[in-house]
Structure 1
Amino acid sequence: MLFEHMVIYNNTVKGIQKGIINRGDNSKILIIPEGVKSIGDYAFAGNTHIEEVVLPDSIVNIGNYAFADCTGLKKINFPQGLKKIGFFSFEGCAGLEDIVFPDSLEHLTWGSFANCFNLKKVNFSDSKTYIGLRIFENCISLNDVQLSENLTKIEYRAFYNCISLEKICIPFNTRNVESEAFMGCKNLKEVVLNREDILLGSDAFENTLWLSELPIDAGYKYFSNILMGYEGNEKKVIVRDGIKSIASGVFTNSSELEEVILPDSLTVIGGANFSYCQKLSYIDIPENVELMGNSVFAACDSLEKIVLPSKIKSIQSYSFYQCKNLKEVVLGSGLENIWDNSFAECENLSSINLTDKTRYIGEKAFEGCKKLVDIGDSSGVSFVGYKALNETPWYNSQEEVDGCKYVGKVLVECLDKTKADIQLKEGTTMISEAALEGTRIYNLDFLQGIKIIGDRAFENCNNLVFANIPVGVEYLGNDIFSSCKNLREIYLPESVKFVSTEVFGRGIFDHYRNISLPNHLDGMFVYYGKARIKFY
């Protein structure tokens, strides 16, 4: 119904003409016509008379808040082919009771079904690989959740305050249940964990019957071979043999803790486990450890050296944040990723041994490391976040190449703002965030070989009129052409696989006329500007 009243632009339903949705019985069923690929942000938000939505097989994306507060909505089909459900898309849809997701769904984002008070049953597809933040928060009637065997992660507050939930079975492939994921599920009395080497977030099961009934042994709380809690305040802690995982936050703020002995059986150390243990000066991480959570040693003021085993591939965000006396870090041979703020404010850190396997250095990873003079082998680095190394003595000592500075394969910064022609160092594959900001470049032909273009990469490049992204580029960050006041035409090649949500900004101040991009990017970004979007 309501075909003639829909506002459709570029295969995206923007909404319905004001007032139409509240007229007559026919407005209770909303049928989106075949061929529509996307439903825009806020398209039907607050339309309380809609009771049923019929989506076409062509639908790929449902935008942010698209059906938020449609309190009368009782039924909706999610067809095969749907890839993304946006932020708070169905938040507050109190009439929904049953949801079945298609195998094609790839992105189920923040709060999509939060506050759906009558939602009772959720069945995930076999292809769903993670459950996003606060997805089912405050779904107080939810009592039947069937998770996919392919599920790898349950994010922050995904099932927070689902007070009717009594049982949950966490699949074997799930390695990460984030903080407060099931917090407040006060009637949850049975939790099936199909593996013991799992990363359990801080308070993941706080205020549940299941957690409250776990036995305490000499100040330690266990579930099978997972250490779930600790109530002591000793100087030396010996974790018993056989333990495979320590849940997040177990030893946080242990003010007297100086030494920890971990068993060889240990494979997972949860986030914030030793954060703010300000007297902790010695810990030997066993060789079998392969996962550590965020902020695991944050603000451990007495820690001077850390040796990481070779099985650890990633150092998570804020892992050693503000470890003021940390001087030396020995990385394992398998280390690939150093995430955002991992070593930020480690003011005495002087050396770290990156290897040729290290690929990723996140935003502000070494911010405030004023004594860092040696980072090892950075030749394999292919992603560098904003201000990752900029303030370190090591970075300052690096020679410029044609007016630019590089870390590994990444152009980090162009110091010569007068440059109109850029000659990239051989092997360069990324332009980092704001790297060419304010330069006088007038075309993008020099980007041959580049795969990644970071946020605001070409900000204030006012000589750009036509931006032709060359074939080979695969990823574009947010607002890459921010404040390019003379830019009129943008062309993206088929090689681009992914663009950030606001790749072209929100379109408030731009002067773009035409944006041409491949069909597979349809529905991946948000744009409210005046430019003509053309898919090919």
Structure 2
Amino acid sequence: MFWKYELSARQPNIVEIDADCEIIGSHASYSLYFTTLSFSGISQLKKINDSAFQNKNFKKFEFEKCPLLEEIGANAFAKCNIKILDLSFCRNLKLIKENSFDESEIEILSLPSSIVELGEGAFGYCYNLREINIPSDINLIKIPNLLFAKTKISSFTITAKVADIQMGAFNGCPLLKDIYFDETNQNIVRRNDCLFSSDLNKIIAIYPNVTEVILPLTLEEIGIYSFSNSYLKSIVIPSTAKKIRKYAFYTAKINEIVFQDDSQLEIIEEFALATISELKLNLSLLKKLSTIESYALFSCNPIVFPENDLFKEIYPAFGNIISSEIPSQVTHIHDDTFIYSRYLSYIGFKENSQLAFIGKNAFSGTNLYKIDIPKSVIIINDRAFYECKRLKYVYFPDDSILKFIGQEAFISCNIESFYIPMRVMNISVSAFSYECYINIQTSPSNSFFFSDRNCLYTGQNQSIFRFLSQNNDFFSVPSFIKEIGKGSFRGSNIERIFISNNVTIIHDYAFYQCPLKVIEFEKNSQLKEIRSYAFAFSNITNFYVPQHVTKLASMAFFGSKLENITFSQESEIFEISSNAFENCKISNIFIPSSLKIIGDNAFKSCTSLNNITFADNSVLESIGEHAFESLSIIHINIPSSVRFIGAYAFYKCNILTEISLSEDSQLESIADHSFESLPIISFLIPSHVRSIGEYAFNKCNSLRSITLAENGVLVNIGSHAFEAIPIVSISIPSSVRVIGPYAFYKCNKLTDIQFSNESNLEELGDYSFEASSLRSIVIPSSVTVIGNNAFSKCSSLTSVIFNSNSHILKLLSNSFILTKISIISFPSSLVFIGDNAFKSVKLSKIEFAGNSSLQYIGSYAFYETSINSLKIPSSVEFIGELAFGNVIADDITLSNTSNLTEIGYKAFCSINASSVILSNVIKIGEEEFFKVIIGSICIPSTVEIIEKNAFGSSTIETITFQNNSQLRSIASSAFYQVIMKSISIPASVEFIGDNAFSSSKLEKVFFEKDSN
């Protein structure tokens, strides 16, 4: 596959395909904008893939240049502006896939005889298409749905080999008057303005504007789209017909369908009779009809269902139905069957109904006022009657075998009373709306539910299922109750409640959004769990947590009006889960000793909370993310048992000035953002802390003292951890291995940093000390990498010392830019000096160890430095662009044993040195020594090329070439404007370019004997 395009500057709207490709790929022209396609070599093209030119604004594709084309993909030319489409030259074209030219501007279409298959909608919605030229010998077998939909064609010829026509092929063709038929076609028979299969078993299509038709008694199948959009007023379906295929009468204008006696009809497929609003349909006498597929009868009204033993399941099929009787043999009403049939006001069930299953959303959004549920129904599924806003009465017979009522089954109904039959064993807590009062009564024989005037109870787990009393504002929980069920008081008017001591669980949403103000527990309460949202958004102001409660679940009191929370002296509380007290009005809390976990957001946004006290023998281990965010505390004493403090734990505690951690603290990790932006003044990092997370103390603008335990196990200081804090000095323990990016960024008061002699530090991250006020630093010998901009903009930094046993490998880009270092000695281990590392630093002395391993000196690395003397180590292999540009030096030497293989553009541009010694260099690059001031330079024998402007505009007094020079080429302007007065050109030189010595001060030029 090959797709090549070239956009011409002079012709910006032309795309040119100029290669002999066989395939143009999917979306090949994506992101290109053009009006013309030009071809110079597509004679080998065999396939144009899907969407290759979709949505392109061009008017012509040169198909005459594609004799080998076999396939055009789906949407390949959809929405293009091609007006005349002549494919007759493509004699190998067999397949045009679905929607290939959909919504294009075609007016005239010509097809080749080689076509075997046209995809659905291939030329559909070509609103201007008025003329189709199809050869009589075309190999086309099927005319698919929507092939010429919404076009302006007035006639069409069914050719000899066509065996199948879907009448939707001509959907919305108002000008189509004539369909001609090739009499040699042996697959299709024309009879009475209809097209049938040759054996008359299947009707394929009806001619346009036909209003009356008689179907043969041999008919077994009414084909797909066969009567779609037809103008028939009525039709008689022969008894022999077994199938009405999908979309057969879709949007037809018919208002009566009659089925002959003894009909053999077995199936009505999806959308077969859909959107025929005037059709009255009686299917009751169809003894063989077993299946009506989804939406087969959508909008038909009324409908009388078949009453036979085969028809047992009803699928979604209806829209405007007003009423219906469900036959007795039906066992299943499936999901969405009558969903939002907004006119449906009555559903009846025939006597002896066998209905067992009412599916999800089966009657959702209907206009039912009452319904009698047959005794055979076992399951009423989720949202079965959801938003039936008029539904007031639901009746069950005494002997109902109903077992299950699903979630939201009767939500948003108008039900005032509800009877629970004797076999019901499972009712979803959300089956009924919480906001409205329902009088629920139960069968005396039901062993799973029972009720009194106050509550509906579940007998199995002795739980309050739903509070029923509309007017009571006080309730005392009976002593036999062990659980207060999920959402049981939600939406009630209860203001006070007494909970007996046998209750062990208060379930999710139990008092959610209640006006509950007072809750009392009986002495010796056995309550163990308060689950999620149990008191969320309630009006409760005071709460006593009984002794045996071990967990307050997530959101338990979220958004409530809680002001005081009290735990028993012997509290067994183990966990306060996430968001448990978020957005409450608590002002003070005492945390019992038993608590081990404070979850994420546990006290978040309790803006009145100004005091948190932990028991002396606290076993708290974890404080979750955002746990104390946005509080009004000034001081907090964190128990020594705490091992983890989560991200943003104290975020936005804007007046928290003191956080106390004991010397024996077990804290192991300080997570990201834990203390960010707090006004704390000092902080002790305990000895067990292994990591300080990102932004942990970022922008603590009052933090003047950070103490890191010397005997600690701290390994990692995260990025931005201490950014912009006003510390003056800090000692980094020997255990630290990584100081992350921006760790001490903009600490503009920081003048001193100390590392232990036994330091294990390996990496100083990017920007780690940028813009600090450090004056000097000794880099620990263990450090291998100093990151990008690590010490950049440290304008007071004058001294950087590497130990003699240093393991430093890399100084990355900008690492010391804009510092005031004057002398630096690089250890032998150093391999890499990055771009701009010492750019514009007023270095006066650079020393490389005698056994230096340095290999790489980056671009601008020492640009504009003031080095007295520079000897570049023999190990150096690469010197980057302007690496030593504008350097002032007495002499620059590249060792005689140099490995240097590449010198970048202007690497030594504008240097000022008394001499430069090069060796082993193969090439002196473009402008490499441009505008230099050099007393003398010796070109080594290894140099083969001196490139353009290599020494241009330079002040060089003497240039010499080593004996046995290999120099072959001196490029144009190589020595332009140099001031030397004489030069001896080696014999090996073969080429001297234009202006090579132009405007120089040369007086004498010598060519060696035997010059080339």
Classify the TM-score, shorter chain.
0.3 to 0.5
**Normalised TM-score (structure 2):** 0.23
**Normalised TM-score (structure 1):** 0.40
